[in-house]
Structure 1
Amino acid sequence: MEKRTLSAQIYRYFMIVIVLSLSTVGVFTYFQSSKALDQQVEQYMQQMIDSATYQTDIYLQSYELFSNTFSSNSDVRAFLEIQPDSAYEHYYYSEVIKKFAQDSITSIPSIYKQLNMVYVVGQHGRSVVYNNQNLLFLDPVLVTDQYETLMKSTPDDGRIVLLDLSIRPEDHGTVATMARKVRGSKYGENNRGVVAIEFKLAELAKIWERVNLGKNGYFFIVDKDGNYIYNPNAETGESKLDPTFSKQIMNSGNKSVIETLHGERRMFVSRKSDYSNWNLVASMPVEELRRPISTIRTTTLTVGLFTLVAALWMAYRFGRSIVAPIRELKDSMRETEKGNWQHIDEVGRTDEIGGLMHSYNLMVTRLSEMIEKVYEAELQQQKNAIELGKSELERERAEFQSLQLQINPHFLYNTLETINCYAIVQDSNEITEMVEAMAFMLRYSIQTNLEEITVANELNHVRNYMIILQHRTGKEFEIDVAIPPGLLLEKMVRLTLQPLIENIFQHAFPDGVEPHHYIRIDARKEGGIFQVMVEDNGAGIKPERLVELRQRLQLNRLADQQESGGQQRGGIGLMNVHRRIQMVFGEQYGLTIESEWGRGSQIVMNMPETTRPALRKKNDSQTDHGRNSQ
């Protein structure tokens, strides 16, 4: 399993929180700002196009006023009644109409520069064409063609229409024509001709130039069929919009349209003039419209990046401030594991970690004092044994007691490390429970009498061991105790049941404890022998390893110190339990092992139903002597 340090986890969680917060705020701000800017730009363009449409209608209405004056003139209407071959009448009315046109234009100064020409064409083929300066004499065929086009395009009721045409081919595309049918001077006559006014679109476009559409924005005008009335990009040669695009523009109403035109995505806002029936369209590139949004995005990313770097640096420093003392505490525990009872400097620490260091120093002090007392008691006991000149049994008893007093440094270190973790993340209840369990185990292990304990005492010792083990591993595991109540007060050797349980956890479940695993403790009397059975369904023992263990049990000796390497440790625990049972009850007792590889194992402790009176009396006298000496 990959090793994950506390500092890396703190840093990773801080990074997740910071990145998530910055991303959420940045994305939300960007999209909200973009949406607001899009709406603002669209409203701005709609206001501009509404203003331009209003100004254009006013501009056209001035020509309508001029057209009304011109069409209702009696000389104009009389001109439509002259004879086709009367040169005099044609000359006379031409001069009269010219003078009237000059006077009318003078009375409406706003149309003087924009007027291209005004003309009257009758059905008799005669025409008067005035170009704002002089009378023009055009090709009769050209006039006749123009007359037929105008007659078809204008309504019979005399209403004005706006047309995209000109009487001279060279003016096409640069002027628009306002035309209407006119009756003759005689009452009841049918429509006799057409009065038309051509005005320059370039002058009309100056109205729109006052509206700011950016560097690459522009206006254009199309009629209801999509034909260009005014196209600022006339060099493209287009005279009509794409039918699909034109339909989309016509049906857009007050909404904007975004389409690709000439390879560039642009926004189009259209308004239809109720007066002219034209569609005035404003267009701006989407890229130019959203340039402020790009600035917001760049600013958001830049500020967010700098904020992220600063926040991660602060998270790194904060993680180090927490992890550094914990690492110091861990290193001190490793030294304690080696037998060096090392204290930690608590100066300047008044927080929870400082309290943890204080508790650790206090625990190390008490444990060192406890072990020192144990060693002193062991030395005193050995001295008493030498002075009393005890037999070989006493020497074996001293060896047994020495084994009892050995503390597993690795187990102690793991327990202390577990206590450390609980001190960081939990309340002190678990620490109290583990320390009490450990104190009971130590107190139980340093008592000197050998067999004056019961099965219930050993089970209680196993219970304290399981409390510590469950806190270390973080996993709940229950041992099935099937011992009949009547056997709980049977005598047995101290510190023999717990090592067997520990051996099972270390070797029977190499891949960890699974829900289907179990450990069962049972007892029975059979043929004068009291048996305690410990059974599991773990990995079992390989056949060659089982043969080796049975051979070593038959040697009736303790394990050698040289065999304390990793793979043999389980054998040492079993051998010591086996030999201590023999030292108390005799060579005919001890352990027997049954196992099947992959199916589990059963270890049986064989002891007499009752302890031997002589040995008990001897132990009692030694206990009383020890009490009196104290």
Structure 2
Amino acid sequence: MKNASLKTKYVVVFLGAAMVSYALIFFFIYARTMQYEMSNLQHFLDNSMEQAKTFVESETKMVTYASDTLYYNRDVYLVLDGCVNETDRDPGQEYRYWSDISKFMQSLETGNICNVCIYAPDNYTYKDTSRNFSSLERLDPALMEQMEGKGERAVWSAPYDFIMPLTGETKRVISLTRRVVQQDDYSKTFCVEQVSLPVDSVSEILEKADSTERGCVYIANQDHELIGSSKAAMAESMEPDFFLLENGDGANGWREVKKDKEIYMMNQMELENTGWSMVAVVPLKELRAKSRRVCDGMIWGLLPIMGVATCIIYFFAGSFSDRIKRLSYQMSHWRDQDVAQEVSTDPADEVGRLGREYKEMRREIDELMQQKYESGIAIKDAELKALQAQINPHFLYNTLDLINWEAMERDAPEIGELVQMLARYYKSVLRKGFDTVSLHHEIEHIVTYVKIQNFRFDGRIHLKVEIPEELMSKKMLKLTLQPIIENSVSHGISAEDEGEETITVRAREEGGDLIIEVQDDGKGMTKEQLETILKVDENNSHYAVFNIHDRIRLKYGEGYGLRYESAVGQGTTVTIRTKTQS
């Protein structure tokens, strides 16, 4: 990615930003949709459960009504009691009683009620002669135990297989069973009445209330025995009693229950007058899967939008990068004058400004290259002249050496001494490889110069050096003092004059700068001469002094250089300011 093209980087950055935006929007919508779908599904299941609860309660109320009608019908009790306890009875009358009771009981079998039955004592003649009368011995002992201690209250049984008398048909039923006690002894059971309801009718209601694939709606009694379910096999595998126990206080409302590392959403409702509980259990995964299907549709809807956005991003990234690419090409081929002229500076955005800056830079580079070319020619000329000038010192030294030998041969020591000082002077001037020298070296140089000049002026020039020893090692530009001393000698005294001239050289440190003063008591200068001494033109004879001033300023900056003070007849003082260098 680091070495990828600018266009690729634009596309990746813009597309990445778009993808992040899409992802944030998607996850926000996904979370809201998940919450909305789960809420809707729970609300739908609540309504379905409420409706199923109403239907089941309606069925149980019909059973309860049939049981109450039979229980509180005293004619049935009196007829049955007379037939059992009277020794002398008319068989025909007994048959009519049996027939009337049977018809009454059959009239109660409305709706889904499949059987209304009385379990009569053994001495009842018509027991086991129809599906409405059966012997007490046929009653499930578990029901008798369940009814013990409950008086005359009705008891709902768990589902069981009921074989219909006479027909032999087997049905899975739940029954409301009630014990009828003897009037003279309430502890004794006279008979048992029972109203049965098929389990299938309850399960059918629950199936309509269940709209899930892996969930289940079921009803369990107070002993956590399964009464009916929308999916029998699934209800058994879910262990209904587990969810009933997890429910705690039985408060209604959806909540999460974890079982076997899977999370379920469950809700529970209590049915009236039965002690039964209706429970809806749905795996959380299924609820999320329903929401996920909605979100999958959103993803497929977003894909075309993302495709269009990618094309737009690619187009605009190309338009941006192409301008920079063209400018980059022009800059990489800047030596080609034709390419340089093709730089576009429109429109006036960042790339346009970059193009204008590039054009200006090209112009300045061209000027600098031209100056460098011209400077190169000048340097070559200077180097050639320097090579030529190297011949002159050797010739000069050889000539001075020849003069010195001639002076010795002719017994002229003064001429020999002068020649030796002159040779020493030029060796100092022509010293190579050093731009700066010590102040001590400069002093030696001017001392030699003054001695040479005193041969001309008969020793009338007096040089005084008042410089502390610790400053003698400080560095300064070479050939700084000699032109100033020469200027003092040339303009301060003449060979025809009888007078003398004193030149004093002083030095001190001041704020990190080296201050050197050269003072003479010569003729001095007028104000006009002072104004022109540090200016150079074709008529100025003080070129060497100006050269010193210019050299110092170029090396150390403005504020450094020479400063002249002079008055006619009072001499001249030159102050040299340079940086202190060890």
- The equivalent of 1:528 in structure 2 is 441
1:406-438: CA deviations, max 9, x gaps? xxxxxxxxxxxxxxxxxxxxxxxxxxxxxxxxx
2:89, 2:389 → 1: CA distance?
Answer: 160
Query: In structure 1, the residue corresponding to 2:356 is in which secondary structure?
Result: helix
CA–CA distance in structure 1, aligned partners of residues 28 and 284 of structure 2:
21
Aligned match for 1:114, one of 96, 112, 115: 112
Please tell me the residue identity of whatever aligns with 1:31: A
Q: Which moved more, 1:122-131 or 1:189-198?
A: 122-131
- Matched letter for residue 392 of structure 1: K
In the alignment, structure 1 residue 151 sits paired with structure 2 residue 144: yes
Q: Is there any run of 5+ residues in structure 1 with no aligned partner, and where?
A: 398-495, 498-522, 531-603
Larger Rg belongs to: 2
- 1:439-472 CA-to-partner distances (Å, cap 9, x unmatched) read xxxxxxxxxxxxxxxxxxxxxxxxxxxxxxxxxx
Aligned residue in 2 for 1:319: 317
Structure 1 residues 301 and 529, CA, compared in 2 at 3 Å: closer, same or farther? farther
How far apart are residue 70 of structure 1 and its match? 0.8
User: Per the alignment, in what secondary structure is the counterpart of residue 112 of structure 1?
Assistant: coil
- Alpha-carbon offset, residue 355 of structure 1: 3.0
SS of the counterpart of 1:197? strand
Supply the distance in 1 between the matched residues of 2:539 and 2:317 (Cα, whole angstroms): 55
* Cα distance change, pair 528–153 in 1 and its aligned pair in 2 (3 A): same
- Return the offset for 1:119: 2.1
Structure 1 CA distance, aligned partners of 2:327 and 2:161? 102
SS at match of 1:365: helix
Residue identity opposite 2:153 in structure 1: R
Q: Secondary structure at the match of 2:325?
A: helix
Gaps of 5+ in 2: 391-433, 444-473, 488-532, 541-582
Matched, 1:608 2:478: yes
Cα distance in 1, alignment partners of residues 379 and 437 from structure 2 = 37
The structural deviation recorded for 1:25 is 1.3
Checking the alignment, whether the CA contact within 8 Å between 2:220 and 2:276 is kept in structure 1 is: yes
The one-letter code of the counterpart of 2:21 is S
Q: Distance in 1 between matches of 2:35 and 2:389?
A: 90
Q: Shift of residue 363 of structure 1?
A: 3.7
Quote the offset at 1:224 in angstroms.
Answer: 1.6
SS across alignment from 1:175 = strand
Note the C-alpha offset of 1:21: 1.5
Q: 1:118 to 1:128 in 2, by over 3 A?
A: farther
**CA-CA distance at 1:35 after TM superposition:** 1.5
* CA-to-aligned-CA distance 1:310-336 (integer Å, 9 cap, x gap): 444433433333333233333333333
Question: Residue type of the partner of 2:173?
Answer: V
2:114 alignment partner, SS class: strand
1:292-331 to structure 2, matched below 5 A, reads: 292-331=290-329
Question: 1:82 touches 1:90 (CA, 8 Å); kept in 2?
Answer: no
Provide the residue aligned with 2:181 in structure 1: 183
> In structure 1, what is the Cα distance between the partners aligned to 2:105 and 2:306?
74
Judged with a 3 Å threshold, the aligned counterparts in structure 2 of structure 1 residues 300 and 168 are, in CA distance, closer, same or farther, namely: closer
Report the secondary structure of 1:59's partner residue.
helix
- Which residue number corresponds to residue 158 of structure 2? 164
Match of 1:353 in 2: 351
On the 8 A contact 2:267/2:280 being kept in 1, the answer is yes
Structure 1 residues 367 and 267: CA distance shift in structure 2, 3 A:
closer
Q: How far, CA to CA, are the matches of 1:148 and 1:352 in structure 2?
A: 98
Q: Shift in Å at residue 175 of structure 1?
A: 0.8
CA distance in 2, matches of 1:610, 1:72: 144
Q: Secondary structure at the match of 2:32?
A: helix
Alpha-carbon distance between aligned partners in 2 of 1:129 and 1:261, rounded to the nearest angstrom: 50
Deviation, structure 1 residue 105: 4.8
Match of 1:227 among 225, 228, 242: 225
Partner of 2:103: 102
2:123 and 2:292 map into 1 onto residues whose CA distance is 63
Instruction: Tell me how far apart the structure 1 counterparts of residues 389 and 326 of structure 2 sit (CA, whole Å).
Output: 43
Partner of 1:42: 42
Show the 5 A alignment for 1:256-295. 256=254, 268-282=266-280, 289-295=287-293
1:240 and 1:621 map into 2 onto residues whose CA distance is 112
- TM-score between both structures, scaled by the size of structure 1: 0.53
Residues in 2 aligned to 1:122 and 1:271: alpha-carbon distance in whole angstroms:
37
The amino acid across from 1:610 in the alignment is T
Distance in structure 1 (CA, Å) of the matches to 2:92 and 2:245:
49
| Contact 1:77–1:182, Cα closer than 8 Å, also in 2 | no
Residue 34 of structure 1: CA displacement?
Answer: 0.7
- Contact residue 115 and residue 131 of structure 2 kept, 8 A: no
CA distance in 2, matches of 1:234, 1:391: 115
For the 8 Å contact 1:162–1:179, the answer to whether it is kept is: yes
Change in 2 beyond 3 A, CA 1:608/1:3: farther
Q: Once structures 1 and 2 are overlaid, which stretch shifts more, 229-238 or 194-203?
A: 229-238
